Amino acid sequence: MKTERQEIICNCCKKIIQKKSRIPDTEFLHVEKEWGYFSEKDGEIQEFDVCETCYDEWVKSFQIPVKTIEVTELV
Ligand SMILES: [Zn+2]
């Protein structure tokens, strides 16, 4: 389901991550989760976008730090 590029706003801080119909040049976290039978949100799809600043703050609150893998880019 690919529609026209929509404006992307950070759910956390309301900052505009990506302006409408612009070439994407900003990295952000997009989460889409379809909750299933074993959850209390059975049959619901939830999605949100988080800008990099909020992502960093969020991740800092984790008890276990995120796993970081260095990607060697082959250009
Ligand atoms: Zn944000």
pLDDT of the residue at 3? 59
DSSP structural state of residue 20: T
* Look-up of token digits 């299933």: 36
The answer, yes or no, to whether residue 1 has pLDDT greater than 80, is no
* Look-up of token digits 């900052």: 15
What average pLDDT does the segment 6-32 reach? 90
Taking the centre of ligand 1 as the mean of its atom positions, its distance from the CA of residue 17, in whole angstroms, is: 8
Helix H or strand E segment including 22: none
pLDDT of the residue at 32? 97
Q: Which residues surround ligand 1, an ion (CB under 5 A)?
A: 10, 12-13, 15, 51, 54
Alpha helix ranges (H) inside 1-75: 52-60
Pairing of strands 45-51, 28-34: antiparallel
Cβ atoms < 10 Å from Cβ of 73: 4
